[in-house]
Structure 1
Amino acid sequence: MGNAVSDQNLQLSYLKTRLNMFLEVLETLDPETAELEDIDRLIQMIDDLEMKYERFKKDWEKSR
């Protein structure tokens, strides 16, 4: 039971870290010089983050 709380905290920390990484990349991107590959990378980062969130959400629902 204690592991589930710890794991959930680690999972939340992971999601926050990844979101902060996304925001840093977004802030450094120059809209005037951004290329399609840059936008594709941002989309991929969001897709990856969403996939992890959905996986973690299922874990959290199981542990209730």
Structure 2
Amino acid sequence: MGNKVSDKNSQVTFLKQRLNMFIEVLDAIEPENTELEDIDRLIEMIDDLESKCREFNNRDQ
């Protein structure tokens, strides 16, 4: 999926970009038309972000 993100600044930049993507998706959702699959995808995005945070944290130890 691309180059490995190894230095601290790159990790922070990566996480900011992923969080901004999540926020854009969240802003685009219309509550009246939201289906369970949409909510599942949001949860999956948060889980992926949390996993990356743990991965980056473990690299620094």
Question: How high is the TM-score relative to the length of structure 2?
Answer: 0.87
Counterpart amino acid of residue 12 in structure 1: V
Aligned-residue identity in percent = 59
| Unaligned segments of structure 1, at least 5 residues | 1-5
Any idea what the Cα deviations from partners look like across 1:7-52, whole Å, max 9, x if unmatched? 1110110000000000000000001100001000000000000000
Q: How many pairs align?
A: 56
Cα RMSD after superposing both structures: 1.1
- Answer 1 or 2: higher relative contact order, Cα 8 Å, separation at least 6: 1
Which residue is equivalent to 1:51?
A: 51
Where does structure 1 differ by over 6 angstroms across 4 or more consecutive aligned residues? none
Instruction: Indicate the residue corresponding to 1:28 in structure 2.
Output: 28
Q: Which amino acid aligns with 1:49?
A: L
Give structure 2 stretches of 5+ with no counterpart. Answer: 1-5
